[in-house]
Amino acid sequence: MAPGRRRGTNKAKDKEQLRFGDLVLAKVKGFPHWPAKISRPEDWEKSPDPKKYFVQFFGTDEIAFVAPADIHAFTGEVKKKFSVRGQSKAKYFSQAVKEICVAFDEIQKKSASGLRDDTDSSYLGSEAPSVDGVDVEVKGDHW
């Protein structure tokens, strides 16, 4: 029997490389990996958690602190997989995929032209994953 896969071991980017504004897929218990963007908790009047990423989800604009093991970078390869799968039956998920694909394309255009939207090159938190799971705050009644 093959050994079990450890959570978070096959991430496209290491934690040290994720920055504010990066596009990701974030996993919250009970939901699939969901398109999101690394955000600043201070913009939402929240205190930072150095052990977790603060994300804003596409499609719902909900926010959450998510452990590093539950975050994966959104890459061109991931975008292609979403495009091949077609439309999801879930309204908010389909909207989230559309929004992250548009954001990804805009970042690619700016990157190709040498422009960078954010001037903040700070990195987030410590390398230790959270031991207490995910703290989610629902904004609105989407979930």
CATH number at residue 42: 2.30.30.140
Contact 73, 18 (CB under 8 A): yes
Pairing state of beta strands 135-137 and 71-73? unpaired
- Is 7 part of any domain? no
pLDDT on residue 94: 87
Is the pTM higher than 0.85?
no
Residue numbers of the domain that contains 87: 15-114
Domain count, the chain: 1
Per-residue model confidence (pLDDT) at position 113: 79
107 in a domain, yes or no?
yes
* CA–CA distance, 58 with 24 (Å, rounded to integer): 10
Residues (pLDDT < 70) of the chain are: 1-16, 86-89, 115-143
Return d(Cα 35, Cα 60) in angstroms, integer.
10
Query: Angle at CA 38, nearest 5°, toward 124 and 48?
Result: 50
Q: For residues 88 and 94, is the Cβ–Cβ distance under 8 A?
A: yes
Answer yes or no: are the C-beta atoms of 97 and 82 closer than 8 Å.
yes
Residues 39-70 pLDDT 10s: 999 999 999 999 999 999 999 999 999 999 99
Q: Is residue 127 part of a domain?
A: no
Whether 72 is in a domain gets the answer yes
